Amino acid sequence: MIARGADWNERVLAGVASMPRGGAYAANRGALDHLSRAVEVRGGVLTVEPSGATPSFCSEATYLVFLKAVAPLRLDPATLEALRVRGQLDGDGIWGRWNANGPGTARLFQELGLGRNFERFEEARPGDFMKIFWSQEVGRHERGHSVIFLGLEKREGVEMVRFWSSNVPGGYGEKAVPRARIAYAIFSRLEHPEALEKASALAPVCPYLSRLGGTRSSIREARSMAGL
């Protein structure tokens, strides 16, 4: 059992370091099927084997790292099953929240109390989960990216944001973009993974997230749903 008070950012970064490299990017049914097979429950233990989960997409990549971080916890059988990926629709269960448009990961953190959500880059630490919005659009016309924040740096006078995810076109790996390209971001810091034990009390579907694939939202509404 991992002690409370553990540095979960370090465990997230350890998960990143253990992930495959490359493998190409694809957000399709085949990639989702590979993800489903990469996450299993065997003998009451969550097993995460991402080597076959290629090609991959961004929310898949960050979810696998999240699962790697929490896998050593002694979670009850119902919670372990709730963490599995079975093709849930956006907003449905844990994976459906994580994979949804908008503040999916942040909404899950808010609902379960897994940790705090925040917006300021100055507060961010390597190992924080991060949802990037490339424009002010949230929902139907959204352009976003689910990543793990690695830090800020200057390159030839330009402030850059470094992150890890599954990126177009290469797949798993690091990337850096000018901070000015990011219209908005929500960070989620894993602090209380034991709160996953409350998953059975989670509403089966988050109505807000479930509708974002077909309707427009706003940064203001996304902030509210993330508890900001």
User: Which DSSP category does 73 fall into?
Assistant: S
* 129-133: strand order across its sheet: 22-23, 171-178, 158-167, 144-155, 129-133, 184-190, 115-118
Structural tokens at position 217: 């939202």
For residue 174, what are the β-bridge partners?
164
Any idea where the domains of the chain sit in the sequence?
A: 8-225
- Sequential DSSP letters for 159-170: EEEEEEEEETTT
Distance CA 168, CA 183 (A): 19
pLDDT (tens digit per residue) in 10-49: 999 999 999 999 999 999 999 999 999 999 999 999 999 9
pLDDT (tens digit per residue) in 138-168: 999 999 999 999 999 999 999 999 999 999 9
pLDDT (tens digit per residue) in 79-108: 999 999 998 999 999 999 999 999 999 999
Helices (H), 18-100: 29-38, 58-70, 77-83, 93-98
Q: What confidence category does residue 195 fall into, taking pLDDT thresholds of 50, 70 and 90?
A: very high
pLDDT at 213 over 60: yes
Residue 6, class by beta-carbon neighbours within 10 Å (0-12 exposed, 13-18 middle, 19+ buried)? middle
What global pTM score does this model have? 0.95
Q: What confidence category does residue 6 fall into, taking pLDDT thresholds of 50, 70 and 90?
A: low
Distance CA 138, CA 176 (A): 22
End-to-end CA distance of the chain: 32
Distance CA 193, CA 112 (A): 9
Are residues 180 and 155 in contact, defined by beta-carbon separation less than 8 angstroms? no
Dihedral (Cα; 218, 94, 30, 129), 10-degree rounding: 60
Are residues 25 and 173 in contact, defined by beta-carbon separation less than 8 angstroms? no
pLDDT at 196: 95
Dihedral (Cα; 170, 15, 63, 75), 10-degree rounding: 160
